[in-house]
A and B are shown apart, each in its own frame.
Chain A
Amino acid sequence: MELLMSILIGLMFAAAVYLILSKSLLRIIIGTAILSHGVNLLVLTMGGLKRGEAPILGLKVTTAYNDPIPQALILTAIVIGFGVTAFFLVLAYRAYQELDSESVSKTRGHEADDE
């Protein structure tokens, strides 16, 4: 399972990097979103998968629970990732309004004119 997950996460990183290296702002933001999915899954995988029950005490008669710490970390990461993504999206929207382009070539300033 961890092997499968590792490969999958590697693919997600590859796709994310590929998108981040493109010229369109929206694609870059989609890339960052995929990247944060990848990171979240990586944290989860490294914490160990399916070792026990969900970490809610008293639901089932068991002492084997899944590790709660990575879950708490990921929860924080999801929220922060969302905040940043929302900000980026509005930034891209505003950049498009001001620059009339969603290409990063416009973000190069005046020198981009002679490109």
Chain B
Amino acid sequence: MSLLHVAILLPFFAALLIPLVYKWTKKIHTGWLVLPIPVLLFIYFCSFIPKTMHQSTTATMPWIPSFGINFTVVVDGLSLLFALLITGIGSLVVFYSIYYLGKKTERLNNFYAFLMIFMSAMLGVVLSDNLIVLYLFWEMTSISSFLLIGYWYHRERSRYGARKSMMITVFGGLMMLGGFILLHIMTDSFSVREIIASGPAIAGNPLFVPAMIFILLGAFTKSAQVPFHVWLPDAMEAPTPVSAYLHSATMVKAGIYIVARFTPLFAVSEVWFWTVSIVGIVTLLWGSINATKKNDLKAILAYSTISQLGLIMSLLGVGALSLHFGNEEFYAAAIVAAVFHLFNHATFKGSLFMMVGIVDHETGTRDIRRLGGLMRIMPITATIAFIGTFAMAGLPPFNGFLSKEMFFESMTDIVHMNLWNADTWGVLLPVIAWIASVFTFVYSMIIFFKTFTGKNKPYLLPKKPHEAPLGLLLPPCILAFLVVLIGIFPNLIAAPILEPAVKAIVPTLGAADSDFSIHISLWHGITPALLMTIGVVIVGTLLYKTNRYWKPWITTRVPKKLRIGRAYDASMFYLEQGSYRTTMWIMTGWLRTYLNYMLTAFIILIIGTMFITDAFNFNFSAMTPVTAVDFVLAAVILVTLIGTVFSKSRITSIILLGAMGYTVSIFFIISRAPDLALTQLVIETISVVLYLLVFYHLPQFSNIEEKPKWFSVKTILSIGVGVTVTLIALSAFDTTFYDSISQYYLDNAYKEAGGKNVVNVILVDFRGFDTLFETAVLAIASIGIYAMIKLRLTKRREKDENQ
């Protein structure tokens, strides 16, 4: 167990201690005690930066070595980028939550315990090299996210959101597990690095594409890609620090991480390129359009997150081309853009969520229809919002501008592709990207201008607004500062953080002879991308100004049929209804129904098997001749059978049953089975007596019997069973493969056991155990009968109550 393992599991162990600490330290806000953990981890992971620029660090701890499952941790550029985001933004979020959540009003022990579990899980996801361990941490993020969304569990909407996110992400997680197992089947390894190293060997495997699709399903559900994005807007019921941390900066990027991590393996496939690019670009467009029609600030941010995640995803898809072409840095630009935007998005989206949290905290509402003119009251918050929204819209000099430019460049490059018809259909990609950017611009402007400019409407606000305390402002300020800093000096993070990350995704660039380096410049000449950005600003401004004309149209008319959330609700409803109805239809509660199922299965299975294996084997030659007595006895049994089935009175039935029993004992006599005949006679007599005893207490065969019908389920089934049994009997008879072992008993009954009655010798000597337990059965039956008659709990209870 190395220090890295300790680092990953530290928040988890902290989560175990938090409830205790919470009880002992009532005076201090628990957040203060939690804060050192992410800060420490952040510093620890920062110490990896110099090392990771050249090589990756590995540490292994055996867990289930016999299955090849070990807790292996690898720190390479990509993992480190995520680890820094998780711990860095984690620290800020913990700090922010100290001021956001009241000490007396909230159950802080739960909150911080869940948050720490989440942090541990997220670190585990990005640092694990073993697929099973990765999956374990993956599900832990789902579960802790579920707990955090449902933090205010007394609210119906929170519970709904938590359940929805759980359903969708766990569905994806299970699919991903399937993909992992397929990978294991193909490569016989659970290690990500080993699997990627064996990539070319498995590319032609028939399981390759299914494994890819399953893993992509997991990634798409977690990263809220269309059509699995529906859980993210509902996850906004979580406390704002949670939304800022989980649902903008870290957890939703776990899917991005998976796609990036597996790019070296799957990028050779055309399916990967098309799926990732198309899903990404559709998500980008869908999220940005939907964001413009929302009135709740958090909902706008949720859809904006969806849209930005789609942007990163599409860049990863396009970047997959670089692996396909080998060492062409041209397309690696898309990967650079993806990683850069991933980082940028975490910074500005985190700050925006915190900003919305402040607005909510200070005014009591997040509805943009009630907000307005807050610039003068909350100048610092407004500045943060300004920086965040303009970075999101992709305007200079913020970091969003740079990554958006790189995005446009990568998308326009696609047009020059002549692979997989990308030159014909690929032209759609930059067009959609541009339209989506226009909408991104529009909703960014809505967030800022509708909240902070215009007329102040204090009568609409639940609280009297004023500037937030310093503690709430500090974390978003730091993030906003980063946004500006990286916007102006982008190369600060280029060499230490972005380059190793890109090299981790595109291994050919990481080769020793490669002189790959990233240089991002704020001004890079008049390129098509810059012209596109100018176009975005112009069209976006026009659209924003005319917002009030087209917004009602887009909210009411267009998307009604396209609302995927409704499809989710409907499918859940019909699933529940369907399973309820199916259960009610199959499980009627009538024993008869179940008997019908069993007998039908019996008939179909046996007759079916006989037909399939051609088991009909009728050989009448070995049969013993029929005598007149046999015929008479058979006729008697037949008569008693008919009588029992059709008789209207019970006494007739019972007497006929007795007659049948005696006839059976005569059968035993003519079959040379004297012991059987004796036993049968005695037992039949006792049975008839018992029947008559019960008969005395039961009513006549009452009106409950329906008249016998020839074409009823009952009739068909009974005839079916009869025919089946006859067929089995006829087929089984004379299928003698081996001689009977009876000769041994006949030879040795007297010699070994000293008895001449072979049947009795078998019962008490050769096979005495059967007899022992048959005696036990009788004993149990008699005790049971005694207990049934004697024990009257209900009566005694009534008696007790009466007294």
Asked, given contacts A8-B638, A10-B726, A21-B596, whether A79 binds B679 with beta carbons under 8 Å apart, the answer is: yes
Interfacial residues of chain B within 642-676, with CB under 8 A of chain A in the complex: 642, 644-645, 650, 653-654, 657, 660-661, 664, 667-668, 670-676
B residues in contact with A4, CB < 8 Å: 626, 630-631, 634
A15 near B726 with CB under 8 A, answer: no
A71 near B676 with CB under 8 A, answer: yes
B residues in contact with A112, CB < 8 Å: 589
Consensus secondary structure, chain B interface? helix
B residues in contact with A29, CB < 8 Å: 691
B residues in contact with A54, CB < 8 Å: 672-674
A residues in contact with B767, CB < 8 Å: 72
Query: Could you tell me the distance between the alpha carbons of A84 and B237 in the complex, rounded to whole angstroms?
Result: 61
A residues in contact with B676, CB < 8 Å: 44, 71, 74-75, 78
B701 near A1 with CB under 8 A, answer: no
B701 near A19 with CB under 8 A, answer: no
A75 near B679 with CB under 8 A, answer: yes
Closest chain A residue, CB of each to CB of B741: A69
A71 near B759 with CB under 8 A, answer: yes
- Of A17, A46, A67, A93, the residue contacting B729 (CB under 8 A) is A46
CB B401 to nearest CB in A, in angstroms, measures 68
Q: Which of B255-263, B431-439, B497-505, B742-750 contacts A (4 or more CB under 8 A)?
A: B742-750
B644 near A30 with CB under 8 A, answer: yes
A3 near B730 with CB under 8 A, answer: yes
A69 near B732 with CB under 8 A, answer: no
B698 near A102 with CB under 8 A, answer: yes
Interfacial residues of chain A within 27-65, with CB under 8 A of chain B in the complex: 27, 29-30, 33-34, 37-38, 40-42, 44-46, 49-59, 65
Interface 0/1 of B420-431, CB less than 8 Å to A? 000000000000
A residues in contact with B745, CB < 8 Å: 68-69
A78 near B623 with CB under 8 A, answer: no
Question: Within 8 Å of chain A (Cβ to Cβ): is B704?
Answer: yes
- Of B671, B680, B742, B749, the residue contacting A57 (CB under 8 A) is B749
Closest chain B residue, CB of each to CB of A90: B785
B673 near A1 with CB under 8 A, answer: no
Question: Within 8 Å of chain A (Cβ to Cβ): is B715?
Answer: yes
B660 near A66 with CB under 8 A, answer: no
Q: Which of B301-309, B337-345, B447-455, B716-724 contacts A (4 or more CB under 8 A)?
A: B716-724
Asked, given contacts A50-B671, A68-B759, A69-B742, whether A93 binds B591 with beta carbons under 8 Å apart, the answer is: no
Query: Could you tell me the distance between the alpha carbons of A30 and B749 in the complex, rounded to whole angstroms?
Result: 38
B653 near A55 with CB under 8 A, answer: no
A12 near B670 with CB under 8 A, answer: no
A76 near B788 with CB under 8 A, answer: no
B673 near A44 with CB under 8 A, answer: yes
Asked, given contacts A11-B641, A14-B719, A80-B777, whether A55 binds B590 with beta carbons under 8 Å apart, the answer is: no
B residues in contact with A3, CB < 8 Å: 620, 623, 730
CB B584 to nearest CB in A, in angstroms, measures 10
A96 near B715 with CB under 8 A, answer: no
A residues in contact with B770, CB < 8 Å: 72, 76
B698 near A93 with CB under 8 A, answer: yes
Beyond the given A71-B673, A82-B687, A90-B789, please list 16 additional residue pairs across the A-B interface where CB-CB is below 8 A. A8-B637, A14-B722, A23-B705, A24-B701, A26-B691, A26-B695, A34-B660, A44-B667, A54-B674, A56-B758, A57-B749, A57-B750, A68-B758, A78-B679, A78-B683, A82-B686
Residues of A within 8 A of B (CB): 1-27, 29-30, 33-34, 37-38, 40-42, 44-46, 49-59, 65-69, 71-72, 74-76, 78-80, 82-87, 89-94, 96-98, 102-105, 107-109, 111-112
Residues of B within 8 A of A (CB): 589-592, 595-596, 599, 620, 623-627, 630-631, 634, 637-638, 641-642, 644-645, 650, 653-654, 657, 660-661, 664, 667-668, 670-676, 679-680, 683, 686-687, 690-691, 693-695, 697-699, 701-702, 704-706, 713-715, 717-719, 721-726, 729-730, 732-733, 740-742, 745-746, 749-750, 756-759, 762-763, 767, 770-771, 774, 777-778, 780-782, 784-785, 788-789, 794
Kindly list the 4 A-B residue pairs having the minimum CB-CB distance in the complex, ordered from nearest.
A14-B722, A10-B726, A83-B781, A18-B718
User: What would 12 A/B residue contacts be, using CB atoms closer than 8 Å?
Assistant: A2-B623, A13-B721, A14-B719, A18-B714, A23-B704, A49-B671, A55-B672, A65-B742, A69-B745, A75-B679, A75-B759, A82-B683
